C-alpha cells in the first residue's frame, strides 16, 4: 500500500516543490504545484491589465480561466528548459511566464482573495479525487484535501530559502540581489501566515520536515523513507 494522495505544505522556497516533484516521479504520480494556479491567474490579470486590487474582477478571472497543468512529456520540444510540468492558460504555454518577478510580486494579494481560493480549491479537489497525486501548496493538508493519506509540512530558514531562490533566479539569467529576494520571501511569509482565508500553518497530523541543513540528495533520501514507512505503519 502506498498513500494515494500526498499533501505537501510550507512557506515559499522551503524545498516543498522539489520534494513533491521527486516523490511524484518516484511513485509515478501526478505532480501538482498548486501555486501555479494562483500564478496563472496573476499572470492573466497582469496580461489583461486587470487591476490586482480589483477583487471582483480577479475572482471572475479565476472562475473563467481555463488552466491546465500537464506532465512535461507532452511537450517534447520543451523538455530541456528545466520545467517540471507544462502550464497552459486558454491553450497558451505560460510555464515560464508565470515565474517572472512581476508575477512574484503580485501573487500573494491575488491568493488572499476568498473567491479566488474557492474557485481554485474546487479545481484542485477535482484533480485530487482521481488519486495518485502529490499536491504541493500552502493549505493543501489543512483546507484543500484535509483527508489526504500523507501530509508533509516542509520548512527551512528564511535565509536558506532566499539563497535557494536567488541561485535559481541567477541560473535563469534574472538580475536581482540576495537582499531583494530575502525581503520578498519575508514579505510573502507575513502575507501567507497572516491572511484570513486559509493562513499558512501545519495540519495537526502533518509530518514536519526541516530542509535547512539538507542537500537535495539528503532531502530525497529522508523523504522516501517517510513515504515508504507510511506503508509499514499500517495506514490503509
- Does 69 or 57 have the greater pLDDT score? 57
How many domains does the structure of the chain reveal? 1
The reply to whether 234 falls in a domain is no
| DSSP state string for 149-189 | SEEEEEE--HHHHHHHHHHHHHHTT----HHHHHHHHHHHH
The reply to whether 228 falls in a domain is no
pLDDT digits (tens, 9 = 90+) for 2-44: 899 999 999 988 989 889 999 999 999 989 999 999 999 999 9
The reply to whether 80 falls in a domain is yes
| Domain assignment of residue 44, given as a range | 5-217
At 236 the pLDDT is 47
The reply to whether 145 falls in a domain is yes
pLDDT digits (tens, 9 = 90+) for 60-71: 999 999 988 887
CATH of the domain at 61: 3.40.50.300
**pTM for the structure as a whole:** 0.82
The reply to whether 54 falls in a domain is yes
Residue 77 pLDDT exceeds 90: no
Amino acid at each position: 500500500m502506498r498513500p494515494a494522495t500526498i499533501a505537501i505544505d510550507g512557506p515559499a522556497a522551503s524545498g516543498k516543490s522539489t520534494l513533491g516533484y521527486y516523490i511524484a516521479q518516484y511513485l509515478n504520480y501526478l505532480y501538482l504545484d498548486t501555486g501555479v494556479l494562483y500564478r496563472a491567474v496573476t499572470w492573466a490579470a497582469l496580461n489583461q491589465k486587470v487591476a490586482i486590487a480589483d477583487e471582483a474582477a480577479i475572482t471572475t478571472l479565476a472562475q473563467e480561466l481555463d488552466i491546465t497543468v500537464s506532465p512535461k512529456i507532452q511537450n517534447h520540444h520543451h523538455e530541456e528548459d528545466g520545467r517540471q510540468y507544462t502550464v497552459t492558460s486558454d491553450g497558451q504555454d505560460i510555464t515560464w511566464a508565470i515565474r517572472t518577478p512581476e508575477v512574484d510580486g503580485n501573487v500573494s494579494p491575488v491568493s488572499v482573495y476568498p473567491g479566488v481560493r474557492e474557485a481554485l480549491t474546487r479545481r484542485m479537489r477535482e484533480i485530487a479525487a482521481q488519486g495518485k497525486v502529490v499536491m504541493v501548496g500552502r493549505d493543501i493538508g489543512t483546507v484543500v484535501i484535509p483527508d489526504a493519506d500523507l501530509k508533509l509540512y516542509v520548512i527551512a530558514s528564511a535565509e536558506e530559502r532566499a539563497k535557494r531562490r536567488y541561485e535559481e533566479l541567477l541560473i535563469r539569467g534574472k538580475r536581482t540581489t540576495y537582499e531583494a529576494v530575502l525581503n520578498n520571501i519575508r514579505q510573502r511569509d507575513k502575507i501567507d501566515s497572516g491572511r484570513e482565508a486559509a493562513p499558512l500553518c501545519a495540519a495537526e497530523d502533518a509530518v514536519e520536515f526541516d530542509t535547512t541543513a539538507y542537500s537535495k540528495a539528503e532531502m530525497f533520501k529522508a523523504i522516501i523513507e517517510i513515504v515508504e514507512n507510511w506503508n509499514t505503519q499500517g495506514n490503509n
